A and B are shown apart, each in its own frame.
Chain A
Amino acid sequence: MVTLLVPAALRVDAAGASRLDVTACGTLRAVLDEVAGRWPRLDRRIRDERGELRRYVNVYVDGEDCRRGEGLDTPVPSGAEVQVIPSVAGG
């Protein structure tokens, strides 16, 4: 089990939840694939149709930016906390 922390801007796409329990673990991709199946609109705010992380969405696994790790292949052990945070961008 993994906990996904949902930013305020995306809670409308997760039935209002700020935390989601996700069964899948192993890699960030596996976690987001389960998200895509259960909360498809939430996933498409985070990833585009190619399955790539959107440019201005950051995902942290236990506090580490996945882009500094292995991207969507970043290991996500059971019990991990996956945090989605919009990056600082725009005007």
Chain B
Amino acid sequence: MTTPPAKTLLMIGTTKGLFLATSSDDRLTWEVSGPHFSMTGVYSAAIDKRRSAPRLLAGVSSSHFGPSVATSDDLGGSWREPDQPPLAFPADTETSLGRVWQLAPGSAAEPDVVYAGTEPTALFRSVDGGVSYEMVRALWDHPHRKEWGEGFGGQAAHTVLPHPADPARVLVAMSTGGVYRSDDAGATWTTGNTGIRAYFLPDEWPEFGQCVHKVARDAGDPDRLYAQNHHGVYRSDDAGVTWNSIADGLPSDFGFAMVAHPHRSGVIYNFPLVADGERFPVERRCRPFRSVDAGTTWEPLAVGLPTDPYYAAVLRDAMCVDDAETAGVYFGTRAGEVYASRDEGDSWSLVAAHLPDVLCLRAAEV
């Protein structure tokens, strides 16, 4: 018998603002507030628990007034934004920030480090807990950059995975461009795409240029990674150097989300869509899949989810887990519905409906 958490917080980033759902009864019922940052797209969110009080971070993007990052140290009661742009491209890049696609707290050893992945594709690093950021120059200066392509969502670094224990190691994934790794705190970057197919290129097995949609890191083995590609689902057992398909047990190898359980090694979640050309849930069913053996086999999870035809997709950051002992799993759809499971995916219930398109979710005990 586990002790129920005092409170669970779920950040829901949508195309028209941030909603905050809180549960005080072990995720049975939820209260939703918002929208915070009304009429901005909230493409990224993070809950940084390395601080004495958890810090919420939100990457907000106004279609009129541009992008920014806001932080809250009182669980969303109040937000602050620096006077100066928290992220800005250096003048010599002749580039301006499009939006922040990812906010990722760094390793436990560096509690003030926060990474941001941006559009256009760049990595930024903060040493003040995510308030202000400097561009990681070596990735921007990488000779491949000119050849990184652009998907429908724009050219962006959408995955940033700092190594949990080694601050020198960080992995970035971008669309398009694929996976890049640094083992020296961002000073140099190498590709990590061997085995990931890019069917949309003349050379289907290029060194880089893949359209990786999301990468997740295994809870127990930091060198084990899982990737949802633009067609293709993969696992790496060597820290992202080489990849092998784990798509066989899924009904489709297309989708956006890939999430790893917070504590149980080998447990991952995915939401398959039919195909690139048909971005609906497989069989029109609102149904994530779970693997408990690192992708060897998969099972559909449908208890409590809608049974009528469902057409809305789950985007790359619109699925997450919390950090409870019995993990909560969450996903949000482009139909503005958010579902939660308090039993690791066995059953689901509705957190919120009729929201704008859900772009990102982050959850934690607070």
Contacts and interface: CB of A to CB of B under 8 A. Distances in A.
Interface residues of B, number: 17
B91 interface: yes
A28 interface: no
A40 interface: yes
B94 A54 contact: no
A50 B94 contact: yes
Contact of A50 (B63, B68, B81, B91): B91
- The CB with the most chain B CB atoms within 10 A, among A10, A40, A90, is that of A90
A48 B66 contact: yes
Interface stretch (B82-90, B136-144, B166-174, B262-270): B82-90
A48 B83 CA distance: 13
B96 interface: yes
A19 interface: no
B96 A87 contact: no
B64 interface: yes
Contacts of A29: none
In terms of DSSP, what is the predominant structure of the interface of chain B?
A: loop
Interface in B41-85: 62-66, 68, 81, 83-85
A56 B67 CA distance: 13
B66 A87 contact: no
A52 interface: yes
A10 B65 contact: yes
Given A49-B89, A50-B96, A40 B63 contact: no
Contact of B88 (A46, A49, A87, A90): A49
B83 A40 contact: yes
B103 to A, nearest CB: 19
B66 A44 contact: yes
A57 interface: yes
A75 interface: no
B97 interface: yes
Interface string B98-137: 0000000000000000000000000000000000000000
Given A40-B83, A49-B88, A9 B97 contact: no
B100 to A, nearest CB: 14
A67 interface: no
A46 B97 CA distance: 14
Contact of A9 (B65, B81, B85, B91): B65
Contacts of A54: 64-66
B96 A56 contact: no
Interface of B: 62-66, 68, 81, 83-85, 88-89, 91, 94-97
Given A50-B96, A57-B64, 20 more contacts: A9-B65, A10-B65, A40-B84, A41-B83, A44-B84, A44-B85, A45-B62, A45-B66, A49-B88, A49-B91, A49-B97, A50-B89, A50-B91, A52-B96, A54-B64, A56-B63, A57-B65, A86-B64, A86-B65, A90-B63
22 contacts: A9-B65, A40-B83, A44-B66, A44-B68, A44-B84, A45-B62, A45-B64, A46-B65, A48-B97, A49-B85, A49-B88, A49-B97, A50-B89, A50-B91, A50-B94, A50-B95, A50-B96, A52-B96, A56-B64, A57-B64, A89-B64, A90-B64
